[in-house]
Structure 1
Amino acid sequence: MPKKSKNIEMITGDPKKAIVRLALPMMLSMLLIMLYNIADSIWVAGLGADALAAVGFITPLFMVLVGLGNGIGAGANSLIARFIGAGNIKQANNAGLHGILLAVVVSLIFTIIIETFMVPILQMMGAGSTIQYAMDYSYIIFGFLFIFVYSGVASAIFRSEGDMRRATIAIAVTAVMNIILDPVFIYVLNFGIAGAAWATVISATLSCLVMSYWIWGKKDMFLDLTPKNFNYSTKMITDNLQVAIPSTLESLVFSILAIIINSLLVLAADTTAVAVYTASMRIVQLSMIPLIGLGTAVLTVAGVAYGARNYTNLKTAHSYSIKLGFAISILLGAIMFIFSAQLAAMFSYTEASAQLSPQIAHAISVLSIFVLAIPHGMMSSMLFQGVGKGFYSLLITLLRSLILESVFAYIFCFIFGWGVTGIYAGVVFGCFVGGTVGYIWAKIFISRFKKFAKKETIPQES
């Protein structure tokens, strides 16, 4: 049986096996992405606290940038998976092509907007003395927005048909090349913080070229994305955006949250606290990789199950991913807590950043609990994205992050007087409470799906 048929057979079969087989390569992909993000921070840390803080101010905006590609990719992934589950391969092809069209149009629009308003955005965020570093880094990154958006969409298209091998290879190209190019551009060529941006752009471009060859050069995918299969449909665009917009807005929510947290840190301490939080969150994000991998797998498996109107697979995908997620989180949280000092040392290897080490270690030890608060909420959000209910996912994220995390961070820091530690504790507590609400909502949705599955319309278009 051809390998491409095995991929389809896998995502339409046992949801537990499908989640594991989809998640493991995605975990590797995310690990590589996070490693090169950490590499950016580690190499930039050598330039001093101001440079590292500048990356911290840009990171929320970069999350929006990546969120554009991931959002449109999630929309395409969900729609393609649902069409595959319904047996409509013609429209699965068309959905993939519409995803690429959206990537082109949206990236051009947002490039103009972000580049135009970059300085006032940074001033509003309170970049202060770090603003020149932030500008040197951001103008390059955001100037090549299309590269990152297209990369997210193309990778999602491979995932939607169960082809995790090539999705992983493409990301590996980006990660490995970025890790190699970072020190060259920053220190050897003496480009400073701009060198980190150029290394990221060049690495992502190589990945895009590889994926484009597989799609239009080699042409051995299950999906056929040749232009002849494109049939413009406003409904197709709308269906994609029903997941893409909420997914992208979720990234915006995370970015706004990061801006709020950075502002609270500056009020409670100074910009050094932002540098500390930036470094510690890199480690936290690294520990979240398995959960992101599981969530991405749930999106595809849930989409296929929903398209096929398979209640059992949908329920199993949700509950199994949460159980597995909690088991992994307990292990990773313990590792973060035990080795917090060693992890902090990665960001304090020069005289300019040495004084940050104890603060970073403390932040990591407190935030190690954060990973335990994530699984039930994240898997519920990804299930909603998979079945095309993107706004449900957005509402969960709004409650969990923008409202509860920021509110509890403020209360614990300023009302309870816990200072910077209170901000960390508020983020953890808010995440857990919001995730619990999302979990209950998902359980109610799955229960109702069982009753109405046969009545709902399977996604079809002529």
Structure 2
Amino acid sequence: MANKNVELMRGEPEIAVRKLAIPIMISMLLTASYNIVDGIWVAGLGQAAIAGIGFVTPIFMILNGFSVGLGNGATSSISRAVGARNHEGASKSATHSLFIFLIASVALTLILLVIQEPLLKTYGASGQSLVEAMKYGTPLFLGLFAFMFANGGSGILRGEGDMKRAMYAMIVSVVLNFILDPLFIYVLGLGSAGASLATIVSSVGSASVIMYWILIKKDTYVDVNLKGFQFEHAIARDILKVGIPASLDMFMMSLAMSFYLMFISSIGGEYGIAAFTSGQRLYLFGIMPLTAIGSAVAAVSGSAFGARNWEYLSRTHAFGTKFATLVALAIMLILVIFAPQLALIFAYTPDTAPLIPEITNFLRIASFGLLLVGIGMPSSFFYQGIGRGTTSLAWTIIRELIFTVSFTYLFGIVFNWGLTGIWIGLAVGRIIASILNYTYARYTIRKLKPVMEGQSDQ
């Protein structure tokens, strides 16, 4: 199975992106369902619990982002070795990735436990919403190792084109979460803490399945040998040159989210935070298929770059953006047309019913940004695929911190358009940045042509 996956990555890029994207898409939609399922069950705990979890969201993005980012570093390093037909190099990259996951999970857990309360207060959490935020956040941070090895391990599988088993592991996790959420939240009476504990236990299940395949069953393309492990700085640097910027991608988005929360809290208080949190869950769910296509673009781009095949590299990016744009259009239409019905998912109790109009307003405005995100997302992942993680990070900063934060502040605060202005700013900022990102990606590909074709002739 592993060899078929590798040959698919080395074959026609359009076929590879399409076939690899589908299982990643399913896997990421299942991942996003964690938030959806948590939101559904937590809605029964009241508005303070919803707002409390909303305040944790930026910190959770940091936690989850580092695990995904380091996994992307593994994907890039392994896929480039696969393209270069360097089996030993791919195996060493996978082994070093596991070592990096372990060190990072310990260090980040300690840091997040120390900074969580000051950060939550900075975002505007206070009173009962702060209590609920702490109850939800602390177990998540203690369980960081589970996210690190689940998401990081998936990155190793993606690097060798094995998207299906990454999806199977996620199915295990989602089924566990679906069962454990109501059990921990209501049956055991753990409330907000129960939602995060269910997520952690479920992630442990996913990580265990992936580690079984890699370390015990050993039927992957990469051959991980921990007994004979010797640390090599060059390999670690190759992983981290993409992994650290990719991790900081999530940090920058979390930082931007912090600004959004402060703007929203100053305008709409707990009501605005609860509406935004609920609508954002659906928006992020809609982003998942685009992220999946981007992940496929990263893997196939890495393989093409490693093989020094410029034509395949260009075709990978071109097809990925077309594919993502069509999917984004469909998602945008669903979120806009069915906004009131979707809002009911998180506002089905008498206490939360007043949120429905604002959640609907959020979905009908912010979702328009998705259409152009369809060309920006594959471009950011393309940079990661060719080993230029800092370029991907730069575009995240441009999109979220420069354009989107500026426009949300301009429309929401300066123009005094209230929450509607914030939603407009989210869409406008992301649209402009995505257009610029795509344009720069095509420029980068043109600049790579003489370099790659010259190397392939040698």
TM-score (norm 1): 0.96
* Counterpart-to-counterpart distance in 2, 1:334 and 1:378: 19
Whether the 8 Å CA contact 1:84–1:92 is kept in 2: the answer is yes
Which residue, 45, 48, 51 being the options, matches 1:47? 45
* Counterpart-to-counterpart distance in 2, 1:117 and 1:415: 31
- Alignment partner, residue 311 of structure 1: 310
* Counterpart-to-counterpart distance in 2, 1:403 and 1:53: 26
1:34-56 deviations in whole A, cap 9, x for unaligned?
11211101111111111001111
1:246-276 deviations in whole A, cap 9, x for unaligned?
1011100111111110110011221210110
Whether the 8 Å CA contact 1:396–1:437 is kept in 2: the answer is no
The DSSP-based 3-state class of the residue aligned with 2:330 is: helix
* Counterpart-to-counterpart distance in 2, 1:441 and 1:230: 40
- Alignment partner, residue 12 of structure 1: 10
Which letter does structure 2 place at the counterpart of 1:365? R
1:272-291 deviations in whole A, cap 9, x for unaligned?
10110010011111111210
When structure 1 is superposed on structure 2, of 77-86 and 207-216 the one drifting more is 207-216
Aligned pair 1:154/2:147, yes or no?
no
Whether the 8 Å CA contact 1:170–1:211 is kept in 2: the answer is yes
Identical aligned pairs, as a percentage?
37
Aligned pair 1:88/2:49, yes or no?
no
Q: Please list every run of 5 or more consecutive structure 1 residues that lacks an aligned counterpart in the other structure.
A: none
Which letter does structure 2 place at the counterpart of 1:164? M
TM-fit CA distance, 1:298: 0.5
After TM superposition, the structure 1 = structure 2 runs for residues 41-440 of structure 1, keeping only pairs within 5 Å, are 41-129=39-127, 130-227=129-226, 230-440=229-439
Which letter does structure 1 place at the counterpart of 2:403? L
Whether the 8 Å CA contact 1:36–1:176 is kept in 2: the answer is no
RMSD: 1.4
Whether the 8 Å CA contact 2:112–2:141 is kept in 1: the answer is yes
The DSSP-based 3-state class of the residue aligned with 2:408 is: helix
Whether the 8 Å CA contact 1:32–1:176 is kept in 2: the answer is no
TM-score (norm 2): 0.97
When structure 1 is superposed on structure 2, of 398-407 and 371-380 the one drifting more is 371-380
* Counterpart-to-counterpart distance in 2, 1:453 and 1:115: 46
1:324-369 deviations in whole A, cap 9, x for unaligned?
1111111111111111110001111112211111211121111221
**How many residues are matched?**
456
TM-fit CA distance, 1:5: 1.5
* Counterpart-to-counterpart distance in 2, 1:406 and 1:362: 19
- Alignment partner, residue 30 of structure 2: 32
* Counterpart-to-counterpart distance in 1, 2:63 and 2:455: 35
* Counterpart-to-counterpart distance in 2, 1:146 and 1:243: 20
Flag as ranges the 4+ runs of structure 1 deviating above 4 A: 454-458
* Counterpart-to-counterpart distance in 1, 2:134 and 2:258: 16
Q: Please list every run of 5 or more consecutive structure 2 residues that lacks an aligned counterpart in the other structure.
A: none
TM-fit CA distance, 1:206: 1.0
1:43-95 deviations in whole A, cap 9, x for unaligned?
11111111001111111111111111111111111011111111111011000
Whether the 8 Å CA contact 2:24–2:164 is kept in 1: the answer is no
The DSSP-based 3-state class of the residue aligned with 1:82 is: helix
Whether the 8 Å CA contact 2:157–2:166 is kept in 1: the answer is yes
TM-fit CA distance, 1:228: 5.1
TM-fit CA distance, 1:121: 1.6
When structure 1 is superposed on structure 2, of 108-117 and 222-231 the one drifting more is 222-231
- Alignment partner, residue 444 of structure 2: 445
